[in-house]
Structure formats: structure tokens, C-alpha cells
A and B are shown apart, each in its own frame.
Chain A
Amino acid sequence: MDSDEDSSSITSLSERVENVKSAKKHPWKKLLWYKQDYEDNYTDASFLSQLKRNSTVINYSYWKLLSDFTLIVLHLSIIMLVILVFYGIYRLNWNPLVPALLSSSLTALGFIVYVITLKIRRNRLINLQKLKIEQLTRPTRYSKFNSSKSHPPSRSPSPFPHNLELTAKESTMDLERYLREPNSPDLFNTLKSSILILLTLLTFSPVLKSLTNSTASDSIWALSTWLCLLNVLFNDYSIDFSHTSRQSESSTFELQTSNSNLSKNISLSNAIVLASRLNSNLSAFCFIVFSIEVSGLFPVFNNFTRRCQFWAFHWFQVVAITTAVDFAVYKIFGVGWFLLWIGLQFWIMVIGPWHFIMLQKYKDELQGPWDPAKPIFKTI
């Protein structure tokens, strides 16, 4: 309004008279098609009334960020684990069967856990659906039914008095979240494809072994380094399915499944490139199997544990793997490399979140009616 008055003081007398007139006229409306008695460059005081600042900014808690950043450390540790095993087979003449067998048995164990958990959750989902159907079909008998069975769905249109022991768990996992979960994999198909892949790897292992025979080792190390860096950069850490769900989760879920393949592909090709330096068919085969299981299947499993909110199990995985890798680095590469490695981990886990929080104060986001409208999706 100030600027308006300034300009009116500068303008000539006739215009000032018009301004006075306009004050009596209809108030200005923000409608382009509506012919009004105002100048084209007229700006009303109500123009910025709908301005919002920092509407999407959240206050992060340091511990939440730290737990998210540990995922990066976990990923780095997995890459390091592959490198360590390669170094062991290539330089230290480890028996290649040992890591392969170890990882295979762990994978089999994880697979069993995965299948059983999914089965249980599916059953629970079916029960929930039944319940909901009954509730919809027989709304009059609902209260009776509810008291007897004690499985109230949290998204019921009118929140009933929740009772009993399961409500705390059930409230976080409602029907829709169950629906988005993958089915438990078909055992026969999984067996078939895994056998197929193993056999192909076996037949290809002589080719793989001699693939880069004529290339110098240095260029292979350089290539492998670049692939590892790209792997770290392109990995989808899928930090966002934690307990504090802040945005609409359906969209993030879709995104993370479609994006997460690139880093896996890069890590696989890294494994193949490294395996081509090994000197026997068996070691090449074993190394590739090991790295498929570690860098391809383990992240899937870890995502699964986090999605199912098995936090203790997740933390056990993180701590076990990072400490094991730390120890192995200390054993194999010596103290200097170990300190460097620990320093890197510390930097990421402790300094990184702190720096991130420090940067939040510079955030200045404007949002107003000029922004494109955001569509609001109705959930099922």
C-alpha cells in the first residue's frame, strides 16, 4: 500500500482525482477476465495475503537423522565387504567356497524368514478384510462383534473406542498398507530362477574369467572404483519408510521400487568386472554368487525388515555388518586404512546429520496461489 501511495503522489493531478474516485468504486478483485477500473499494473494489498513461507519444512530430530544416515554407512560397508572378499580371494588365496557358502546359507535363512513373515502378514490382512466386510454388511451388529473379536480397523469412519492389546500395532498398519505389500514369492519359481542363474554363471565363468585377460589390471581397478562411486551415488537408500510417516506414502513406495535397480546393476557389473581378474573358474563363480547375494539380495531383505518395523533386527544387521567390516579392514588393510575407514563412517554418521540440521536455517520456501495446484489423491 505504501508503494501505491508513493506512485499516486508522483502522478499528475488528474490521475490523483481518479484514484480518489476509485476508492469509492468496487474493491479490486483478482480476476483477469473481469473488467475493472484499475490500471494494468495495479497491485492490491490483498495480493500477498495467501503467501505461505516454509510450509513444508519439518523440524528434524538429530537421532532420527542419525538412524537414517546409518543406512549410507551400511551401504558403504556392503560395498567394502565385496571388495574385501575379492581382495582375500585375489591376493590372500582364500578358499572362494567359504564366503560363497556362508553367504548362501545366510541368504537361504533370510529367505525363509522373509517368506514366513509375509505369509503371516497376509493371513492377518485376510482377517482384516473379512472383518471390514462384515462390518460393512452388518453395521448394526458391529458393536457386539467388535467387543467379541477385538479387531477394529483404524480407518473406520467414526473412531470407535479402541480396546485391548493389539490396537497399538494395528493403528500403524492399516488395511491399505497391507494391501501394498508384495505377495510372498512362489517357492517353485524362485528355485527355478535361482538354479537357472547359478547354472548360467557356471557355464559363463570361463568366459567371465578370460573376459579382461588382455586388459591391464590398473584399468580394471580404475573402472571398479568408478563403478563403486556411481553405486554409492545412485543407490536408493529408501530412508523414508520409517515410523514417522510424514508424506503420502503411496507415492514414495511406487518411486522406490522403480528407482532402486540402477545401483544394483552397477554393483553387479562391478562384481563381474572384478571376477574377470580372478584366476580360476571356481573362484570367479563363487565371487559372483557372493556379491549377488550380498549386494543384490541383502538390501532387499534389509528394506523388508524396515518396512515390517522389525527395528531391533534391523539394528542388529547394521551393527553386525559394520563392525564385521571394520574388523576385517583392520585385519587385512592395517591400522591406517582402518582409521581412515572409521573416520569416514564417523563423518557420515555424526557430522553429516549435524551439518544437515545446521543447513536447515537457510531454508526459505515461498508458496502462494501462483504455484501450480497440487492434486490431492484420494486413497482407496
Chain B
Amino acid sequence: MQKSIVSIFWPTDLLNPVSDHNLVVVGYKLNSQIVVIDYIRYSNFKKLNLKIEKNNLCLEIIGTVNFHHLNYRNFRFDDRTNIPVMEAHENLILFKPPLSKKLEYYSIKPISVDIFWTVTPQDVLPCSQSPPNKLDLHFGRPSRARDLENVMKFINLTEYTRYKLLNSHKKKSSFYADTIGRFINWFGSVVLALYCATFQPICKKLISILSYPLWFGPETKTYVTLSTCSFVLHQLNFRAKQFHHLPKQFQRLRNSNYETEKLLIKGTRFSPSEYIKFYNSLWLILNDLLMGIVMSNMLSKYHSVLVQGMNTLILKFEDSLLYLIKWLMNFPGGFKLNNELAEFFGELFMWVLDFWSEYVLRTMMNNSSIIIRAITLLVKLGGLNMLIASIMDILDITSLHLRCFYFASTRVFNWQWHIIQSLFRLFYGKKYNILRNRIDSHNYEFDQLLFGIIIFTLLVYLLPTVIAFYLCFAVGRLLTLVLHTALESALITLNHLPIVVLLLKAKHKERLPGGVIFECRTAVNDTPYFQLMARPLSLKEIINSHIKSMTIFNLNNLREFQLEGSEANIKTVINQWNRVSLVRVLKNIAFGNFIDSFDYKRLF
């Protein structure tokens, strides 16, 4: 008679018991899968109440070892390989029981890495359900996958069940360990309460001050707050937010510790994301503060050198700008520009430059010692990120005039380019039809033609001069943008690196389950069997998951700055990130649009 195929999951620590006692093999029976949990001595067996929990999970007797019983089958072990001998219709699958103390477990789906405090809304991600999954809704998922999920649930329960089994016949627990655990618990609650009472309100106040909407920018359709004005203030706001969310994360972590076992039985997916969240933010804060202390010591040690360096750097920057403008005024690179226009532009820019260096940079250079001392203090208290943020603030101030030049020349270029385009259409007798959104032929009057051609010829001849100025300042803007983006990415790395996950990946891969692998092996005596192994999360998956959660975090932050009605969606975030893509930047330069980096202060 053909028997249906049965797979038996056998823990690796239960191979070939050396003892000669009569043992009973207990485990769970599912449809066609059997999960072996433990041996129990036959003598103890009778005292045992197999129904551990009420919710339809009952251990069953799978078989016997070393003795025969009428109702149950007897397992024999191969002497050489220590593997239980199976019948023809049985698959043997060995698994290493996961240690719940070390937070190991098996999972079919990869866990998500999320280090941010925001809750992931389901509707945000556009394609959370891929088409095949939608098909499954129609045809029903294959029962095998669901079975496997159940099996994984029971395998994850191994340790817990064993513990319960042990308790049920050995009613004894160490008083000592219990008290220590309670004390630690109590201590944690006290610290949490103190923290919530004192520190958290301060943080809340700070956040509400820093993110109070000052006014509404109609073009960008976002609110302007104090934290969007300066990187230092933004960093302060961010740190306050971190501290503010810390107790909540800690509470969640404790809850998840308590609930883990119950959750496991219920079958809800246990995820280490809570402890990853908490420890990650704690780690990042500590790391930052410690590095900040080291850095502040360095800064105060090299104080005079830094002051001098800053002054010479600013002077050199000004000189090079002046040199650049003078070069542009006198046939740059042998190009013959229009003298009059170049002179006009050059004098305009030089006037602004004089004004700027006289009133702003001079005061900055006079007070550079104070500025650096202030930065040192900030770094000491606020961490290494404060250094980067303050450098970016200073960079923004010192390159403001460069930005203005860029703005002006881009406006001129864009304007001129558009006029030339429409006048070129006039040149060959066409006109842009706004109503139909296309180019139609049009009979111009003679005076219209005359006007158009005069202005067209003028603008075409003046275009090279404008382009030369525009390109120079665009390149300048590009350079500051590159520096800006590099510093911003350093800031992102220091603030939002999923360092705990990466360390777990290096240290203990089983804590980051990304699926399971069944490996086919053959024992020494050529009996094939399977080995169940947890596939750790690959680096790519970690990064992808992190980027996904970061995008959602960005989206939530972006929404804070917007009106209620205009909801930003995931595309706006991606658009923001795409701003730094090379193709986009080059396209914007070519068409005379403004190039800008992503809005760090609003995204994070």
C-alpha cells in the first residue's frame, strides 16, 4: 500500500541518545509533517500532562526509542551516522533548534530592517503586493507554503516547549535568578519613569519651538521653521526627537520581551526590529557623543591653526572668485565675447563681491576665533554631527553670494534662451499655439517680423557671453553642491546608519533570518537526508530594506512641513533624491533650470 510522504523534522541535538533508558519521542503532528521536540523518559511520561497550552497545540507521542510499544513506531538509530533510520515514505529533515535566548529563529520571509521611530503605513509603498501575490488571492495559496510556515512556528517553539515540559515534571526554579531579573526590571521602570518625568518634556518643548511653523512658502508649498533654516538647529531638533522617542522605544522593547513567547504561539511574526530600533538609536547617540568629545578636544588643541586656516581659506576663496570674474571679462580661453556685456556683468558681480567681503566676510574673519570656540563647545555637547552641521552652515553663509551670482546668471540665461527659441520660430514663420499645445504656422505682419529679427539677432550675438558667465557660475554651484552633498551624506551616515544590524550580520547571522534553506546531504552510509538551515539576511537585502524604511521616514517628515490638503507621496521623495543624479543635474544645467540638492533639513 502506497503511503503518503511524511517529512519528519528532527532536531540535531537529539541524535542517537547514548542512554539506555526507555524514551518517548514527543512532538507536533501537522498534516504531513512531524516536528520532533524532545525525548521524555518513559518513567516520567506517565506523570506528564501533554496539554501544555489550551490553544489547540498539543504535543503528541511520535514514537519510542529503545523499546517497543503497540501503538507507536520504534525509532532506530544508525550506529555510524547517529541518524534515525527512516522508512521509504519518510523524509528526514534535520534542524538545529533555535536558541531563543540568543534571539535566533527561523523565518520564511526576510525580516525588515527599520531603525526609525515612524510606523510604516501600509498604503505608502506603491507595490507592496507584487502581481503573483495578487494571483494567489484568486487561486488560493499553495497549502505547502502555509504548512511550512506552521512548521517554522513549531520549530521556533522548540526551546519554549522543552522548557515547559521540563517545568511540568520538575517544579523548581531558582529563586536567585528570579530576584535579579525582577530587580533589573524594577530598576528599568524607575529609570524610565524618571526620564519621562524630567527629560522628555524638555525635549518636547525644544521640538515644538524648533519646528514651529514661522511662515508658509507658497512656491515650495512647505512651512518654514527654525529647523529648516540652519543645519545646527536641525541637528539639535533631530537629537531632541531621538531623545523624545527613546522611552517609547524602550517600552516597546520591554513589551516585546514579555510578549515574544505568546506572540510566537499566536503565530504573529516575531521580529527583532524593536530591539534593533532601540539599540541602534542608543548606539548612534553614544557613538556620536563620544566622537564629539574626542573631536572637541582636538579642536581646542589646534585652535590657533584652525583660526588661521579659516581666515586664509576665506581670503583665497574671495581672491579666486575675483580672478575668475576678471578672467571672464577679458576673453576667457580665447573666446571672443561681447566686450560691453561682459564688462557690465563683471562689474555687477564685482560690486556684489566687494559688498559681501566688506560687510560679511570681514566680520566673520574678525570673529573667527569666537566662531571656532563656539563650534568646539557645540561639538563637545552635541557630538560629531554638530561639527559637520556647523561646517555646512558656515559653508552656506560664505557661498551665499556665489549662489546669488548663479541665481542671477541662470535667470538671465533661461530668459534669453526662451526668447531665442520663440523668436527662432518667428524666423521660419511659426508660432507656438498655447491652446493646442503645438507649433502652428502664422502670418506675421512685416513690423512684427522686423522687430523679432532685430531682437533675435541681438540676442544670438549676446548669447555666448551670457553662456560663459552662466557656465562658470553653474560649475561653481556644482562644486559647492558636491561638497554639500558629501557632507550631507556624512551626516546621514552618522545619524541613520543601521549599525546594529550590520554588527549582527558580522557577529551572529542567525539573528537576522532572511528565509530557510533545505540542503540535501548524504550520510556516510549513503542515506540521503535534508538539513534545514536559516539563510541570514544578505547585505543587499539589509541595505534595500533600510533604504525602504528611510524613504518612508523621509515621507513622514516631508508631510510635517506641508499643508493638510496637499499630501506628498512616495514620488516626491524619490524626486527629491533624484535631484542629485548626474543626468538630472546636467539636464538642468543645459536647460537653464536651477540645480539643487535634496532638501536634507526637510527630509530628515
Q: Mark A residues whose CB is within 8 Å of B.
A: 193-194, 196-197, 200-201, 204, 207-208, 210-216, 257-259, 261-262, 264-265, 268-269, 272-273, 276, 292, 296-297, 300
Contacts and interface: CB of A to CB of B under 8 A. Distances in A.
Contacts of A296: 446, 450
Contact of A268 (B338, B428, B450): B450
B231 to A, nearest CB: 44
B450 A215 contact: no
27 contacts: A193-B447, A194-B447, A196-B447, A200-B451, A200-B454, A210-B339, A211-B458, A211-B461, A213-B338, A214-B337, A214-B338, A214-B339, A216-B336, A257-B443, A261-B428, A261-B444, A261-B449, A262-B427, A262-B428, A264-B449, A265-B426, A268-B449, A268-B454, A268-B457, A272-B453, A296-B446, A296-B450
B458 A207 contact: yes
A193 B447 CA distance: 6
Given A194-B447, A257-B443, A261-B444, A215 B454 contact: no
Contact of B429 (A207, A213, A215, A261): A261
A269 B458 contact: no
B449 A197 contact: no
B459 to A, nearest CB: 10
Main secondary structure of the interface of B (DSSP, over half): helix
Given A213-B338, A214-B337, A261-B449, 9 more contacts: A193-B447, A196-B447, A204-B458, A258-B441, A258-B443, A268-B449, A272-B453, A296-B446, A300-B446
Nearest to B442: A258
Interface residues of B, number: 26
B340 interface: yes
B429 A272 contact: no
Contacts of B427: 262, 265
A272 B450 CA distance: 11
A310 B404 CA distance: 64
A210 B340 contact: yes
Contacts of A210: 338-340
B12 to A, nearest CB: 77
B181 to A, nearest CB: 86
B331 interface: yes
A303 B462 CA distance: 36
B442 to A, nearest CB: 8
Contacts of A276: 461
Interface in B311-365: 331, 336-340
Main secondary structure of the interface of A (DSSP, over half): helix
A273 B460 CA distance: 11
A204 B338 contact: no
Nearest to B424: A265
A4 to B, nearest CB: 51
Contacts of B443: 257-258
B553 interface: no
Contacts of A297: 446
B470 interface: no
Nearest to A210: B340
A269 B427 CA distance: 10
A211 B446 contact: no
B456 interface: yes
Contacts of B445: 193
Q: Which 8 A-B pairs have the closest CB atoms?
A: A193-B447, A214-B336, A272-B457, A268-B453, A261-B429, A211-B461, A269-B457, A265-B427
Given A259-B429, A269-B456, A212 B461 contact: yes
A265 B453 contact: yes
Contacts of B449: 261, 264-265, 268
Interface string B424-446: 00111100000000000101111
